[in-house]
Structure 1
C-alpha cells in the first residue's frame, strides 16, 4: 500500500537495472570440487589433454580463441595462469606447445555469470571522474550485489548520471568483465596483533611471528617472520595448528588492482578469501573525507563463508585499487555496518546492528576496531516489528545526519524509512519519519525474495535525495525525493524512544 508521504514526495523513475547473464568472468574450475569429492580428477584429465594429436589441439584452441577471447579481457593470460595450477601433473611442462598449454588451461576454466540470478542492493557515491558532463549533472558510481549460480554474491558496479534537474540515466555496461589481479598487501604489525588477539591467538608462537615482523626494517614480510620462529617453538604439538591459524588471519588482508584501461562497470570484486568464499554481500560505499582534506572511498560488506557472516572493510583511493581487511571489536559482529563520511568529534563513527534488530552508533580510534554500539533506533512502528537496520551510510545535511533505514514487518515485508541524527552527537535522534518512505509497489512485490525494497546507500545532489534501491532481490530501481520536504515531514521522537 502506498502511503500519502510516498505519493507526495517520492518519484519512482522509469530507469531500471536488471541482471545481465552475458556478464561473465572466466574462473578456475577444478572438476570434482563442486561435489566436494575426496580425490582430485585432475590427473586423468591432464593425461587426456596430453594424448591429443597436436593438429587437433591447434584446431581446438583456434575455436576457443574465436569464441571466448572477445568475452574476456586477457583471455590467453587467464588460460596460461590456470594451466600453471595443474602443471605439477605434467612430466615436462616446459616442453608443451603454446597451443597445448592454452588448451590445458581452458580445460580447467569455466565461465561464471556473475548476474546469472539477480542484481540488487545498490549503494551510490560520486564517481571519481566528473569530466564531460553538462552543468548541474553528477556522475554516480553505483555498487551492485551480483548474484549468480549457487547464490554466490560478488560486488559489481554500474554508472549513472543524475541531473541536471530531476532526471537520471544509466550509462551502458559494455565490454568484458575483469576480476582484477591480487597484489601484495603488507600488514601493520600492530593491526595484525589486534586481529590475532581477537581470535584468541596470544601465545608464544604467535608472539614470535609478530616479533619477526617488528624486527624487519621495512616490516610487512610475513614469510620472513614465519621463518624466524625458533625451531624449539615449532616442535611444540600445538605449533602447526597455531601457525596455520596465523597464516589464515594474515591471508585475510588482500589488495586487488584492476587494469587502468578498464571501465568501472567492467570491474568485479570476486570472493577470493576463505572468510568470503560463499559470497561478498551488500557493500555500503561512502566517499570519506579525512581532516586534512584527503578523500577516499570506503565500504563495509558482509563476507559469508557458508556458515558465518562477518563484516569487512574495503578501501580505495579511486575505485580501481581496492584493499579488503577485517574489522574487529564488539560492534563488528553482524551484518549492516555503515560508515560515516567523516570523523565525528574527532573519531571514526559507524552505524551497526550488533544484536541483529536494533540500529546503534559505534565509534573507533582507527576505523578498524569498533567499540560497543549505543542504540539509537529500535523496532517500534508497525512496519518494523521484526527488526530495523540502516540502508547505507549517514548523509550529512545542515540539520543533521540523514539515515535511511529499513524495517521488516508482517509477512517479512521490507520498507525504507528515515531518521535524523544530531551532527555533533549522532547518538541523539533529532527526527523520525512517521511512515515508510518506500514500500514495495504492486509491481515490485514479486521476485527472487518477494516484498522487499532495500538500499545500501543514496546521495544528495541539487536538493534531491537520489536513492537506487533493490526490488525483491532481483532488480534495481531509482527513486528521488526533495530533501527539504523530506526533512520537514520528520517528527521529534517520543520521550520514551
Structure 2
C-alpha cells in the first residue's frame, strides 16, 4: 500500500545553552591545592566565594546545593589526607569545595537529531481528533557524547504538530543500582553474546529466578576465589559482569517535566554516548 508522506514545517533546533552538571575531576595535585586554599579561608571569605558561585549556577540548575554536596562527597578522601578528618568542616566550605569540583556540560552543542515518536500515556483534556505525543531526540554535546532528550506535544486531526513549552532546567535521573535481573532474560543475553557455557550455567544455577547485581557479583567472586578457572572461564565471568553493569534502571523525580529529563551515559559501555 502506498503511503503519502508530507513534510511539515516544524523545526526543533539544538540549544548550546542547555547544560547539565558533571563532576570536575582535577588531578590529585590540583585537587589538593584547591581544597587547601578553601581550608585556609575564614568563614566570611568562603561564604562570599560560595555566594558568587550560587548566583551563577542557580540560574541554570535546580537544587544546585544538592549537586555541590554530591560532588563534595567525592573529594572526602583528599580532605582526610590533608586534615585527618572532614567531620568538623563547615557546611559553607563543604559547598564551596563541591562547587570547585562541578562543571557544566552542553548537551546539544553539536547536534539534535534522530527523532522518535510515541503516544503519551496521558490522553486527558484533549479535543476531538487530538493526540498527545512524546518525541525523543538524540542530543550530541561536547566531545560528541550522545544522550537522549525529550519533548511533548499535541497532534491535531489535521496532523498539525504543536510542541509544548520547554522546561527551564534539566533533571537528571536517579540511577537504581539494585537492578533486579530475570534469569530467563539474562540467559537470552548470554546466548546472544555466545557466553552461555559451563561456567556461566554453574553461576546461574546458584541464583534464583530473579536476582540482584550484588547476588551475581558475590557468586562470581566466590567462583574466582575457590575454583581453578581456565582463561576462557575467566573471560566468561568478566563478560557476565560487563553485561550486568550494562543493564540498569533510572528514575526521574515526579516534579520534572518530560522536556527537562535527560538520559545521559552511565555505564562504561556507554562511555562514547548512547546510540
TM-score range, shorter chain: 0.7 to 0.9
The alpha-carbon distance between structure 1 residues 200 and 61, as it changes in their structure 2 partners (threshold 3 A), is: same
The structure 2 residue matched to 1:24, chosen from 19, 22, 25, is 19
Q: 1:353 is matched with which residue?
A: none
Secondary structure of the structure 2 residue equivalent to 1:57: helix
Post-superposition Cα deviations, 1:235-278, rounded to whole Å, max 9, x if no partner, equal 65758766544322211111000001111111000011111111
The alpha-carbon distance between structure 1 residues 187 and 90, as it changes in their structure 2 partners (threshold 3 A), is: same
The structure 2 residue matched to 1:151, chosen from 130, 144, 147, is 144
User: How many Å separate the matches in 1 of 2:210 and 2:90?
Assistant: 42
Q: 2:90 is matched with which residue?
A: 97
Report if the CA contact (8 A) 1:173-1:265 is conserved.
yes
User: How many Å separate the matches in 1 of 2:123 and 2:207?
Assistant: 42
Is residue 252 of structure 1 aligned with residue 246 of structure 2? yes
Segments of structure 2 that go 5 or more residues without pairing to the other structure are none
Is residue 271 of structure 1 aligned with residue 260 of structure 2? no
The alpha-carbon distance between structure 1 residues 232 and 113, as it changes in their structure 2 partners (threshold 3 A), is: same
Number of corresponding residues: 266
User: How many Å separate the matches in 2 of 1:272 and 1:186?
Assistant: 17
Q: 2:206 is matched with which residue?
A: 212
The alpha-carbon distance between structure 1 residues 122 and 81, as it changes in their structure 2 partners (threshold 3 A), is: same
User: How many Å separate the matches in 1 of 2:246 and 2:135?
Assistant: 25
Q: 2:185 is matched with which residue?
A: 191
Report if the CA contact (8 A) 2:181-2:210 is conserved.
no
Secondary structure of the structure 1 residue equivalent to 2:205: helix
Post-superposition Cα deviations, 1:126-169, rounded to whole Å, max 9, x if no partner, equal 11222222222111100011111111111000112111324221
Post-superposition Cα deviations, 1:397-456, rounded to whole Å, max 9, x if no partner, equal xxxxxxxxxxxxxxxxxxxxxxxxxxxxxxxxxxxxxxxxxxxxxxxxxxxxxxxxxxxx
Report if the CA contact (8 A) 1:209-1:228 is conserved.
no
Segments of structure 1 that go 5 or more residues without pairing to the other structure are 33-38, 282-497
Question: Larger deviation: 49-58 or 248-257?
Answer: 49-58
Report if the CA contact (8 A) 1:124-1:140 is conserved.
yes
Report if the CA contact (8 A) 2:150-2:261 is conserved.
yes
The structure 2 residue matched to 1:75, chosen from 64, 67, 75, is 64
Question: Larger deviation: 250-259 or 200-209?
Answer: 200-209
Is residue 134 of structure 1 aligned with residue 130 of structure 2? no
Q: 1:113 is matched with which residue?
A: 106
User: How many Å separate the matches in 2 of 1:237 and 1:110?
Assistant: 44
Secondary structure of the structure 2 residue equivalent to 1:159: strand
Secondary structure of the structure 2 residue equivalent to 1:125: strand
| Distance apart, 1:179 and its partner CA | 1.7
| Distance apart, 1:86 and its partner CA | 1.9
Secondary structure of the structure 1 residue equivalent to 2:249: strand
Q: 1:475 is matched with which residue?
A: none
The structure 1 residue matched to 2:55, chosen from 66, 78, 83, is 66
Report if the CA contact (8 A) 2:120-2:134 is conserved.
yes
